[in-house]
A and B are shown apart, each in its own frame.
Chain A
Amino acid sequence: MSVADRPIVMPGSSGQVAEYPEHHYLNHSKGFLSWALTLDHKRIGVMYLIGVMASFALGGMFALMIRIHLWNFQDGWLENKTYNQVFTLHGAIMVFLFIIPSIPAALGNFLLPIMLGSKDVAFPRLNLMSFYLWVSGLVLFLVALSVTGLDTGWTFYTPYSIETQKGGAVLAATMGVFVLGFSSIFTGVNFIVTINTMRPPGMTWFKMPLFLWATYATAIIQVLATPVLGITVLLLAAERVLGIGIFDPKLNGDPVTFQHFFWFYSHPAVYIMILPAMGIISELMSVHCHKGIFGYRMIAYSSIAIALFGFLVWGHHMFTSGMADVTTIVFSALTFTVSIPSAIKVFNWLGTMYQGTVSLNTPMLYALAFIFLFTIGGLTGLPLGALSTDMHMHDTYFVVAHFHYVMMGGTLVAFLGGVFHWWPKMTGKMFNDKVGIISAAIVFVGFNLTFLPQFVLGTRGMPRRYATYLEEFQDLHRLSTIGSLVLGFGLVVAGLVLFHSLFYGKRAPKNPWGGATLEWECTSPPPHDNFASAPTVDDPYNFAGIEYDPKTGGYAKA
């Protein structure tokens, strides 16, 4: 390491890092290969970020195609068959390529080592490998989906997925999922080991930032649940290729078994999606309220509780499938246990605002939007968990609206909040906060306009995955379509704000928001090695003595 790579130490201020670094991880080395073969967790994180954002844009286009098709109750602009392929593409891309890797792989990779004050993750090579697995999974998956016209929905339910003569497509797509699963496992293993072994001296478990608690809980699920997906996919392949009867009733298999296998992974996967989002919100709420998080221990414990309970509730996707009554009732009871830790978190975030100093900037507004939308998503989960009401609402638009509130209103909005929050750290550029706030407002309005009508549609009996529908539902569908266009516009604005800042943004100070966690102690963007020497660890939520400095536009310890 040359001298120039070290953060510049200003004379006189012992160990103080310069506000604007000359050398940082982005210009540490140049050329395509310096990115393609990098072991730097920050660069891998940035590559993931670009990848998942591109996947999201693709999935979003398909979402708009769906909504525009549903403008009229029949004779939409897509054929039924094409419509089925489009919703399959939308679901599969959003779930496997966007939501699951979004926060852990992109933001997690970038932040986790910095928050720990270490130079990198425990296994940098494994980290790079996980990225390439993700890329190859993506290629396999996209080729399978687009070339062969897969139309099974992202759930691949048997026996439809076995019987459909696009069998090759199912096989290729499931192979893609299999590879993506390994990418997810590698990231999980890496994070667990890093957090266990590389915490700096003084950082006990209960002095960890809550984002790390959430990432840790997520990594546990990734490592334990994802192999089951691999097994399921292998069994599916074995059935197709070798003709062993597992799920196909024609070969004495049982299609409901597939649903058990599938949801045993895919339900915990829901928590892979939402837990890191909760972690981001915990950080954002406390930093932008300039106040320590309320009930730290309860939030940390509830992350672990959600991770554990999440393994026990997969049956609630199958209440109408004809499971035994006892099984159904037990799953219903277990399902409700998950709602408690989630409710605790929401109350704690609100408690954090109490008597705080609330800065209403872009990341904070996304965080507040998250709390609002996630609460609606959570509360509408209760009538779905209760058996008698679920009988009516299962597989209707009520469910569609519910999981979009949790996944999109929850994870996506938190992801955006996180990207805005750490954008100055990642790129060293400040974005235009005013336009950012406008984007948050448009996204919020558009989102509710899209999905609130769908709750009403669902309670009136509109089933999911319908390319055509009865005329009585048309008005609500049109409202939802208008909302989706507004939402799409808001997301484009958000994207433009970020893009604009890359070229015209002001240079970011070290600590633009007044955070107390370690990532705000190194420069923006951080140097190649993050920290010259292991930093001293303080309480991550001690905001006393962090003062605004008008000279730099950032905050510094007084």
Chain B
Amino acid sequence: MIGVARDSATLQRTSAEARAAGPGRKHDLRAVKIVWQRELIRFAQDRPRILVSLLQPVLFLFVLGTGLGSLVSGGAGGVSLRTFLFPGVLGMAVMFTAMFSAASIVWDREFGFLREMLVAPVARGGIVLGKCLGGASVAAFQGVILLALAGTVGVPYSPLLILTLTGELLLLAFVITALGVLLAARIRSIQSFFSLTQMLLMPLFFLSGALFPLTNLPTWLQVLTHVNPLTYAVDPMRRAVFARLSPGGHPLSTDVTWGSWRVPTLLELALVAALALALLAVAVVQFRRPD
């Protein structure tokens, strides 16, 4: 009697394993895709959010850029301050939108929907990846809308430049979303999430070289800006813009250097990508823990 029961149990177990192994990967991919799609749908439905999150970068670019620009006679080294700020403002728009997207996990938890996702028979990693890709797509899209303003600040609409910047924005968006998702794994209230991320994002943004060149800084600021990972996400964008403006090298194209070594763009991007993957991995581990 016991033997029979055990046999039927093993039988059921092996069939279960077969079922699990069969659709496994493909099934997880479907999960990534649907979680990603949901982020896009939710974003597309939220028109006010699209407009509001464009407001801040536009203020920085046109109001701050024009206002402070009048302090610098003849512009900043031949280009207007607005042009200089453009890549930084793109970065800013993406950073804040990406963090906002990551906050959706906290909302989802509060309204119960996170549970629907976490009880599904899919790898948690798939859900976390879908969330990160969704947040990154939405934030990069926000950046692309701002790219449309390039002409108004003296940046030419070159297809190659736009493509390069879009790719770089996507990477920046991904790293920030991954950070946000990682934080959202632990933070249960939306208020705490927003206060913590604002506290975190502001210094990261200010120290990223988005608003000023990173040369001729006092040592303390030099050190802080160079350990800030976002510096390596913003600098490639500025390099791309200046390379298009003055192919011969621009005095303000103050590339990030380690000592006297100019950090290659690819290495900068690789650093950011590595950080993004590391954050993603930690986030997956966080969400895998049983409740």
The reply to whether chain A is a binding partner of chain B is: no
Interface residue ranges, A against B (CB under 8 Å): none
